Amino acid sequence: MIRSLEAGEWGPGDAIPSEGELAARFNVSQGTVRKAIDEMAAENLLVRRQGKGTFVATHDDPRSFYRFLRLVPDDGRPTQSVSVPLSCVSCEADADVAAALGVKPGDPVIYVERLLRFNGEAVVFDRIYLVGELFSGMTLESLHGGERSLYSLLESDYGVRMIHAEERLRAVAADDYSAQLLGVASGEPLLLVERTAYTYGNRAVEWRRGLYCTRHHYYRNDLG
């Protein structure tokens, strides 16, 4: 089933065949299929909809928005962010980028800088590296997706879906450039969130270093 997702047999948002059809296709019991679907739903690969069936998860689903963005206003009420692309260039991977993405130093990557605004306030400054061969032709103009998340844009425009990610967090001081973009003083504490995101087959396709201003927001993670 995962190979079918990876091959694009069932695209994001598509309904997958019924449990009976899948059981016949793979020559297993419906109970085995149901268990596999349950596991894939727990991993956010599939979504069950009562009375409608099971569908391939998509980043266009509003419920997926805060799966990868864990920043919440102090009042606790989730607010839709607006992505403001600042730059998009092709370049060669240095040693750090190559190690994070599993490519060779010198391989082509796409480098993106962007701001995330919440209610007009710049809260996140992202430096993003993407595997070049998967996002050929990406331009600054193509990143202007309005209220779509970056992952929704990558999924719909380039056919690459982020399945899971690993993050590392640490406190850092704002440099002059990031301070100006985020409207804070140089040296002010920021939260650095380093993320590597993976698509099917556990392939790393994105590495980003995001600087989060936490004056009016906090980073929330549910454990368990």
Query: Which of helix, strand or coil describes residue 61?
Result: coil
CA 209/CA 124 separation, integer angstroms: 10
**Residue recorded with tokens 């009375």:** 51
Pick the CATH number of 62-219 from 3.40.1410.10, 3.60.21.10, 3.40.50.720, 2.40.50.140: 3.40.1410.10
CA 184/CA 169 separation, integer angstroms: 20
Residue 159: left if φ>0, alpha if ψ -120 to 50, beta else—which one? left
User: What pLDDT, on the 0 to 100 scale, is given for residue 54?
Assistant: 92
Average pLDDT, the chain: 89
Domain with CATH 3.40.1410.10 in the chain: 62-219
User: What pLDDT, on the 0 to 100 scale, is given for residue 44?
Assistant: 76
User: What pLDDT, on the 0 to 100 scale, is given for residue 184?
Assistant: 96
- Does this model's pTM top 0.85? no
| Domain spanning 2-56, CATH architecture | Orthogonal Bundle (1.10)
Question: H or E segment at 99?
Answer: helix 95-101
CA 4/CA 43 separation, integer angstroms: 16
User: What pLDDT, on the 0 to 100 scale, is given for residue 75?
Assistant: 85
The pLDDT averaged over each successive group of 10 residues in the chain (224 residues) is 83 88 91 90 83 84 66 80 93 97 97 93 96 94 79 89 93 97 97 95 95 92 73
User: What pLDDT, on the 0 to 100 scale, is given for residue 63?
Assistant: 59
Domain with CATH 1.10.10.10 in the chain: 2-56
User: What pLDDT, on the 0 to 100 scale, is given for residue 65?
Assistant: 56
**Which residues 6+ apart lie within 8 Å of 169 measured at CB?**
191, 192, 193, 194, 219
User: What pLDDT, on the 0 to 100 scale, is given for residue 129?
Assistant: 98
